[in-house]
A and B are shown apart, each in its own frame.
Chain A
């Protein structure tokens, strides 16, 4: 079974501080995909990044960066110089690709981390 753990339920930071959101996953699939989504109060899940299990390169996109470490089964997300607009709930998700049966490609989500950026 797949599992995603986001241990941080809520985080508050002051604007311009850096913040890291943790994500730890469990899977038996040999190939899998990791995602981060942002959910503002409107409800829509906004796609941020997708990472394939065979690509361990870290990625930076503007103020966002992601650290993928297969050895520790972690896919952490860092926001540099946070802004009020970053306030939202962030979800880490996992999908498998082993073809091991029904549900292999569904997204398994963590419980989410609510980030509040205080001006």
Chain B
């Protein structure tokens, strides 16, 4: 069973540009979440999508956005990149973390973004 797949793995962008990251969840999983990891702030929740709807959003500026497609694949976009956006962006997949018994959340390898 394939895991969570994120593309691209590494990318370098210039300040002011925008970037789109892609995530393919585990087959059958309907929830996709995104996290940002930086040395200073650690792992922080960006947003969660379930059945093409954003269910939760973290405390990030509007430059950070995302969407989910009918096949559960998700993309996140960061516009007007700033140096501080340099980070590892991790995508997480689960069937439904809101289920009463909870759910295991699996992560991809992440996309390393460097803004210069």
- A residues contacting B by CB (< 8 A) are 31, 33, 35, 37, 42-47, 50, 52, 91, 93, 95, 97, 102-112
Report the interface size class on chain B.
Answer: 20 to 34
- Taking a contact as CB atoms under 8 Å apart, the answer to whether A45 and B102 are in contact is no
Q: Considering the chains assembled together, what is the distance between the CA atoms of A104 and B99 in angstroms?
A: 12
Given known contacts A45-B90, A106-B48, A106-B58, A52 and B107 CB-to-CB distance under 8 angstroms: no
Question: Does B100 touch A at the CB level, under 8 Å?
Answer: yes
- Taking a contact as CB atoms under 8 Å apart, the answer to whether B92 and A107 are in contact is yes
Contact stretch, chosen from B11-19, B66-74, B108-116: B108-116
- Taking a contact as CB atoms under 8 Å apart, the answer to whether A37 and B107 are in contact is yes
Q: Which of B25-77 contact A (CB under 8 A)?
A: 33, 35, 42-43, 45, 48, 55-58
Question: Does B1 touch A at the CB level, under 8 Å?
Answer: no
Given known contacts A105-B98, A106-B56, A44 and B108 CB-to-CB distance under 8 angstroms: yes
* Number of residue pairs A-B, CB distance < 8 angstroms: 65
- Taking a contact as CB atoms under 8 Å apart, the answer to whether B109 and A42 are in contact is yes
Q: Which residue of B lies closest to A110 (CB)?
A: B42
- Taking a contact as CB atoms under 8 Å apart, the answer to whether A91 and B43 are in contact is yes
Q: Considering the chains assembled together, what is the distance between the CA atoms of A103 and B105 in angstroms?
A: 15
Question: Does B2 touch A at the CB level, under 8 Å?
Answer: no
Q: Considering the chains assembled together, what is the distance between the CA atoms of A35 and B107 in angstroms?
A: 12
Q: Considering the chains assembled together, what is the distance between the CA atoms of A109 and B88 in angstroms?
A: 15
Query: What 9 A-B pairs have minimum CB-CB distances, sorted nearest first?
Result: A45-B107, A109-B43, A106-B45, A33-B102, A44-B109, A43-B110, A105-B97, A111-B42, A102-B56
Q: Which residue of A lies closest to B88 (CB)?
A: A43
Q: Which residue of B lies closest to A99 (CB)?
A: B98
Q: Considering the chains assembled together, what is the distance between the CA atoms of A27 and B114 in angstroms?
A: 34
Closest-CB distance, B51 to chain A (whole angstroms): 14
Question: Does B20 touch A at the CB level, under 8 Å?
Answer: no
Write 27 A-B pairs (CB below 8 A) sorted by A numbering. Answer: A31-B100, A33-B102, A35-B105, A42-B109, A43-B109, A43-B112, A45-B107, A46-B107, A47-B104, A47-B105, A47-B107, A50-B102, A93-B43, A95-B102, A95-B105, A102-B56, A103-B57, A103-B58, A104-B56, A105-B55, A106-B48, A106-B56, A106-B58, A107-B33, A107-B35, A108-B45, A112-B42
